[in-house]
């Protein structure tokens, strides 16, 4: 059988692309791996370094990151519902003084919900294309992508991409 490195090299990208050696760890990096400057280690199928979880999102935890964003969205929508149900608008200065905290909370919840929803949608889009945030943002600088004949050599169709990612 093939070794893990051989199976990583035999992917739908040009055969003249060789495995890189990380300039920091000095290990051979499989395709789609990247060294994270913040974590100080190489990550397989690197997506991004997330400040919310203080860790890299990569091959082993990317599906859990999607679950994290989904659960966060559910909690924010629940908080939005609770905050909205507490608002009973009246046009008086006294009402505004007593409800300013609730109004500010509601505004923050709406902003965080929009941010989380946009993150979740963008990640689900990238997963459906079988690409990573790093590959999407740095396509022109990544050797195995800029020399590739197709725009995304890893894309195998939406259904198969989602199946391989989540299953």
Query: Any idea which residues carry the catalytic annotation?
Result: 50
DSSP the chain: ---HHHHHHSSSS-TTPPPEE-TTT--EEPTT-EEETTTTEEETT--EEETTTTEEE-TTTHHHHHHHHHHHHHHHHHHHHHHHHH------HHHHHHHHHHHHHHHHHHHHHHHHHHHHHHHHHHHHTT--HHHHHSGGG-HHHHT-SSS-TT---HHHHHHHHH-
């Amino acid at each position: 059988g093939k070794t893990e490195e051989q199976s990583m090299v035999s992917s739908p990208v040009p055969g003249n692309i060789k495995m890189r050696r990380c300039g920091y760890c000095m290990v051979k990096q499989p395709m789609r791996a990247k060294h994270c400057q913040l974590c100080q280690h190489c990550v397989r199928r690197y997506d991004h370094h997330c400040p919310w979880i203080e860790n890299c999102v990569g091959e082993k935890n990317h599906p859990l990151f999607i679950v994290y964003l989904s659960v966060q969205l559910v909690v924010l929508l629940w908080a939005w519902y609770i905050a909205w149900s507490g608002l009973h608008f009246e046009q008086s200065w006294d009402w505004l003084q007593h409800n300013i905290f609730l109004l500010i909370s509601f505004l923050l919840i709406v902003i965080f919900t929009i941010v989380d929803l946009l993150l979740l949608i963008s990640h689900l889009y990238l997963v459906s294309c079988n690409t990573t945030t790093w590959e999407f943002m740095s396509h022109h600088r990544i050797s195995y992508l800029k020399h590739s004949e197709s725009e995304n050599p890893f894309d195998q169709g939406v259904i198969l991409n989602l199946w391989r990612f989540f299953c």
